A and B are shown apart, each in its own frame.
Chain A
Amino acid sequence: MTMQQFVLGACAFFVAFVFEHLPMPDLLMWLQPQWVMLAITLLVLNAPRVYGLWLAVPAGLMMDTETGAYLGLHVITFSFHIFLVQLFIRRLDGFNLLQQMLMVLILALAHQLALFWVSQMMEAYPKPIDIWGPALTSALVWPWVYAITQLTIRRILS
């Protein structure tokens, strides 16, 4: 991993956790996008050889601490997510933004579903309907997140 890639990863997580921690009104809480999941997707897409499954460990531990979940919960769901992104990486690269949005929606839904199952196994009882809100908003913000980060990365590298 080069210094640039390390800084890029650290910045992506910093921004993602800032957004994750932003105070939101009660009514909109269930619509909060999965910022950390989007950051992971971007990093894996940009440098798949550097950012692999290992990324799930630090990101998952930080997310567990942020949300007060049992340590390891998000490590499992993020590793599942990274596995899926790596599986579809070539298709994602070739897609236009609308197709990418649909793909992100599917990936976010899969991530939410994994979170839902693991939470149920840990005797927490979330409602199945709640997996849709964050997945939909994550797909909606994806084009902006993708465009901004691609521009930034190009500017840094040029």
Chain B
Amino acid sequence: MLVICLLAAGLMWVDQNYTVFQSLRYVVGYVLYPAQQVALLPSTVAGWMESSTASRQQLMDENVQLRARNLVLEQKAQRLASLETENIELRELLSASEQIDDRVLVTSVTAVDPDPYSKQILINKGGEDGVFLGQPVLDAFGLLGQVVDVLPHSSRVLMIADSNHAIPVQVNRNGVRAIAAGTGALDRIELIYVPNTADIQLGDLLVSSGLGGRYPKGYPVGVVVEVEHQSGEMFARVSAVPSARLDRSRHLLLVFSQGAGQVPSDEIWRYKK
């Protein structure tokens, strides 16, 4: 027993500090895949039944709604095209690199981590679909988190509300930079190390700043709901509600962007210069 425990302790230490055993985890993921699929069978069948037994009237109503929504979105997309062109022109003026639309992959949430202290979810896309460690994950409303574990057909996502997570953000109104750390509660994130004099107000939208090279720039992260200046304290206490619906979203987007997951080599070159 002692030998097994010592070997396991060594394995834990290596796994904590290096990524050499990621391939072992990947292989074990193949073994677990059939059991995971069987466990999800009832919800898959229920979803299929629900979608296949929808009445004609329901489908027609939905169709009308979707058409109306489509019109609104098309109108917005028209404006977006002109804004994008304008944006590129302005960026060119600023000699900044041009922002290209991010490529995304749609995925679904298959399970939630049963550990009440860890805010992690499992999604149904894995290494076979091109998912990589550190990949940003969005829902329809904002940034949701990043991939921390990749298995062949599924991945584990650490949400921005997890207490081990932090993301560089900036206030959309004025560009003030800060770090949004998870609190362990799904409906709250906190801005840490914000000076008392920083211009942050209630209702300010926080967007990802792209600093650190992990998350792409400009996606909504949260909305400020509490700003508390304490006399004698060096930093203000600023809380925000995540924009992404961390406890409700079922369909998510995996982002394959130039700025995500790694710092682009041309940017490193620019800093060196």
Interface set of A (CB-CB < 8 Å, partner B):
14, 17-24, 26, 29-30, 32, 53-54, 56-57, 60-62, 64-68, 70-73, 75-76, 79-80, 83, 122, 124-127, 130
Contacts and interface: CB of A to CB of B under 8 A. Distances in A.
B62 interface: no
A122 to B, nearest CB: 7
Given A53-B1, A75-B11, A68 B32 contact: no
A71 B32 contact: no
Nearest to B31: A62
Interface of B: 1, 4-5, 7-12, 15-16, 21, 24-25, 28-29, 31-32, 34-36, 38-40, 43, 111-118, 120, 148-149, 151, 156
A19 B16 CA distance: 28
A17 to B, nearest CB: 4
Given A70-B16, A71-B24, A79-B5, A21 B111 contact: yes
A14 B9 contact: no
B156 A68 contact: yes
Contacts of A32: 114
Contacts of A70: 11-12, 15-16
Nearest to B115: A67
Interface of chain A, main secondary structure: helix
A32 to B, nearest CB: 6
Nearest to A83: B1
A20 B34 CA distance: 13
B35 A76 contact: no
A62 B36 CA distance: 12
Most chain-B CB neighbours within 10 Å: which of A70, A72, A124, A130?
Answer: A72
A24 B113 CA distance: 10
Contacts of A53: 1, 4
B112 A68 contact: no
Contact of A68 (B4, B39, B113): B113
A30 to B, nearest CB: 6
B193 to A, nearest CB: 21
A75 B28 CA distance: 14
A23 B40 contact: yes
Nearest to B43: A23
Contacts of A75: 4-5, 7-8, 11
A14 B38 CA distance: 10
A23 B250 CA distance: 14
A54 B8 CA distance: 12
Nearest to B25: A65
A79 B25 contact: no
A34 to B, nearest CB: 11
Nearest to A54: B4
Nearest to A82: B1
B4 A57 contact: yes
Contacts of B120: 68
B11 A23 contact: no
A126 B28 contact: no
Contact of B12 (A17, A71, A80): A71
Given A61-B28, A65-B28, A83-B1, A17 B35 contact: yes
Most chain-A CB neighbours within 10 Å: which of B11, B114, B151?
Answer: B114
A52 to B, nearest CB: 10
B123 to A, nearest CB: 13
Contact of A71 (B4, B11, B31): B11
Given A56-B4, A62-B31, A76-B5, A71 B116 contact: no
Contacts of B21: 71
A29 B116 contact: yes
Contacts of B115: 29, 67, 126
A65 B15 contact: no
